[in-house]
Amino acid sequence: MDKFAMIIFGASGDLTKRKLMPALYSLFRDKRLTGEFTILGVGRTVYTDESYRSYILEELQRFVKPEEQDMELMTLFVTHLFYLPMDPAEAEGYSLLRQRLIELTDDINPNNLLFYLATPPSLYGVVPLHLKEAGLNTSESRIIVEKPFGYDLESARELNRIYASVFDEHQIYRIDHFLGKETAQNVLAFRFANGIFEPLWNRNYIDYVEVTAVENLGIEQRGGFYETAGALRDMVQNHLIQLVALTAMEPPAIFNADNFRNEVVKVYESLTPLNEIDLNEHIVRGQYTASGNKKGYREEKGVAPDSRTETYIAMKLGISNWRWSGVPFYIRTGKQMPTKVTEIVVHFRETPHQMFRCSGGNCPRANKLILRLQPNEGIVLKIGMKVPGAGFEVRQVTMDFSYADLGGVPGGDAYARLIDDCIQGDATLFTRSDAVEASWRFFDPVLRFWSDTPNAPLYGYPAGTWGPLESEAMMREHGAEWTNPC
Ligand code: BG6
């Protein structure tokens, strides 16, 4: 690999220690990051190179899977780290940054200069402009920017304008780490590398689809951020809608960045615009309340005591195209749920006629396919089988594939894959400007509805439960219920 330099803005923050450094270490360990490379952390907290290295070494021992920890290798890895205390919001620091970079790399190698914005979203529009002023936006440099990209459609457009004035689109990598998950990519392999499911993958055979990404943690130490985001901006507008796109998209003729991303945008553009009824009845937002030894959201640090920020959202979406017209997609996400799970459940239509006996309410008339993204990664198909013995009783059983059988999903996690892709210049799994805007265009009415309707319901749900009961009612309209994994 050529000399490579990466500058992380927000290097003293949560994301850097939890995700970025373990990902970079995993690339180093796998020899994907080799030769002379420099990782220069930038942040407001004051560290020297030495103290930053010891801090990261300690955090690696917390956040890298124990079986992947190799003290010697980790110690070697941190010798590549450097730190510059500066406020990324202020222009002054950038000439110093440039200077430091030149010292560290002898020169700025234009082919391998990567910026990573792991700052609060309020800086996403500021940093690129300062980079430009300091002449750091070399023609082949790249920038990875975290989500949420924008606060609504207008601000996302403005951000896109700013980025376009500093970089070419091929240099901009809007990251959505769900797309870096092995299991998310496998949704495409499952659909398009097998002949047997795709003919059924449409309105004629599919009754409805659920997409669930819930967590059993609260907002941890991120009160300040979460108050400005909420579940819709934090999870739905990006991660969940990406999963909908993977489930609903058409197969590109050739799998490459442009073709894949064209198909994603087509899905977003086909989302049925939300009307009055949808806004009032097909969106359920909730906020967790104290329960047992768990705090309520409003008691969390950095959260207003009368906050109306949603920590749960369930929605019914429609896709207006030939493949999906009339098939509801129910999506939901929430903090402080009973468990952490991300899965897509595809419910096939019932058999037209039930001729077998079934007992105990377990009448397997409809097949169900569960794509489990995490944890216990795998795929489960629910099918009806005859119970052995006399008579013709049929019961639902499962056929399953577990990633554990293929050696398990690698621990390096989504960030390693995506950073590696960016270093290689492969933008396939990153969000393009038109996709980000198309997604906001769809969700903007929800944000407007909430801000214009002060009494729009926000339901409380006790921490550790499956969210407001109203979300069950939304499913019952379709004669369905959420698949709550245990
Ligand atoms: C992040 C959100 O993007 O995704 C977090 O900001 C959330 O709030 C996280 O916890 C979930 O990601 P994962 O990979 O742990 O499911």
Pairwise pLDDT comparison (352 vs 237), residue with the higher score: 237
Give the tokens for residue 28.
């180093």
Q: What share of the chain is helix, strand, coil (3-state, %, to 5)?
A: 40, 20, 40
**CATH 3.40.50.300 matches 4-146:** no
Asked if residue 309 lies in contact with residue 461, where contact means CB atoms within 8 angstroms, the answer is no
Stretch 127-138: mean pLDDT:
95
Q: What is the pLDDT of residue 391?
A: 83
- Known binding residue 14? Answer is yes
Compute the distance from residue 242 Cα to the ligand 1 centre, in Å: 14
Overall average pLDDT of the 180-197 stretch: 92
Give the pLDDT of residue 403: 86
Q: Rounded mean pLDDT of 368-393? A: 90
Average pLDDT over residues 101-126: 86
Q: E strand or H helix at 119, and its extent?
A: none
As a whole number of angstroms, the distance between CA 192 and CA 280 comes to: 37
What is the rounded distance in angstroms from the CA atom of residue 253 to the CA atom of residue 255?
Answer: 7
Ligand 1 contact via 234 beta carbon (within 6 Å): yes
Residue 452 tokens, joined: 């214009």
pLDDT in tens, 406-430: 877 765 589 999 999 999 999 999 9
Which residue carries 């993204």 as its tokens?
373
Share of the chain above pLDDT 70, in %: 97
Q: Considering only CA atoms, which residue is closest to atom 13 of ligand 1? A: 178
pLDDT in tens, 133-148: 999 999 879 999 999 9
Average pLDDT over the chain, rounded to an integer: 93
The lowest-confidence range among 149-158, 333-342, 359-368 is 359-368
Identify the sign of the CA torsion 243, 314, 472, 205: negative
Q: What is the pLDDT of residue 352?
A: 85
0.85 surpassed by complex ipTM: yes
Whether the pLDDT of residue 241 is over 60: the answer is: yes
How much is the pLDDT for 152? 96
Query: Which residues are known to be catalytic?
Result: 239
Residue 72's identity, in one-letter code, is E
The Å distance, Cα 46 to ligand 1 centre, comes to 27
Q: Which of 147, 215, 336 to mutate to test the pocket of ligand 1 (most atoms within 8 A of CB)?
A: 215
Please state the atom number of ligand 1 nearest to the C-alpha of residue 219.
Answer: 8
pLDDT attached to residue 481: 92
Is pLDDT above 60 for 1?
A: no
User: Looking at ligand 1, which residue's alpha carbon is closest to its atom 10?
Assistant: 215
Q: What is the pLDDT of residue 109?
A: 59
Residue 215, ligand 1, Cβ within 6 A: yes
Region 227-236 average pLDDT: 96
**Is the minimum distance from the CB of 183 to ligand 1 under 6 angstroms?**
no
Q: In what order do the strands lie in the sheet with 366-374?
A: 394-402, 378-386, 366-374, 341-350, 206-214, 329-334, 312-317, 283-289, 459-462
If one residue of 145, 181, 182, 234 were mutated to test the ligand 1 pocket, choosing by the most ligand atoms within 8 A of its CB, it would be 234
N-term to C-term CA, the chain:
45
Going from the Cα of 201 to the center of ligand 1, the distance in angstroms, rounded, reads: 28
Annotated domain spans of the chain: 4-146, 179-409+433-478
pLDDT at 111 over 90: no
Closest atom of ligand 1 to 181 CA is: 14
Over range 324-333, report the average pLDDT.
98
Residue 94 has pLDDT above 90, yes or no: yes
CB atoms within 10 A of CB 50: 11
Question: For 111, which DSSP code?
Answer: G
Gap between the Cα atoms of 373 and 343, Å rounded? 5
Ligand 1 site-directed mutation target among 181, 235, 309, most atoms within 8 Å of CB? 235
* Confidence check: pLDDT of 171 > 60: yes
Cα 482 to Cα 211: distance, rounded to the nearest angstrom: 10
- Is pLDDT above 80 for 486? no
- CB of 269 shorter than 6 A to ligand 1: no
Calculate what percentage of the chain has a pLDDT beyond 90. Answer: 82
Question: Strands 283-289, 312-317: parallel, antiparallel or unpaired by DSSP?
Answer: antiparallel
> Is pLDDT at 369 greater than 90 in this prediction?
yes
Quickly state the pLDDT bin for 363 (edges 50, 70, 90): low
470 lines ligand 1 (CB under 6 A): no
Q: How far apart are CA 84 and CA 8, in angstroms?
A: 10
* pLDDT given at position 410: 66
Distance 325 CA to ligand 1 centre (A): 30
Q: What is the pLDDT confidence band of residue 296, given thresholds at 50, 70 and 90?
A: very high
Closest C-alpha residue for ligand 1 atom 6: 234
- Residue 176 predicted with pLDDT over 80: yes
Give me the DSSP letters along 56-105: HHHHHHHHS-GGG--HHHHHHHHTTEEEEE--TTSTTHHHHHHHHHHHHH
DSSP E strands in 351-455: the ranges are 366-374, 378-386, 394-402
CATH of domain 179-409+433-478: 3.30.360.10
Nearest atom within ligand 1 for CA of residue 222: 8
pLDDT digits (tens, 9 = 90+) for 15-56: 999 999 999 999 999 999 988 899 999 999 999 999 999 999
Which numbered atom of ligand 1 lies nearest the CA of 213? 16
342 touches ligand 1 (CB under 6 Å): yes
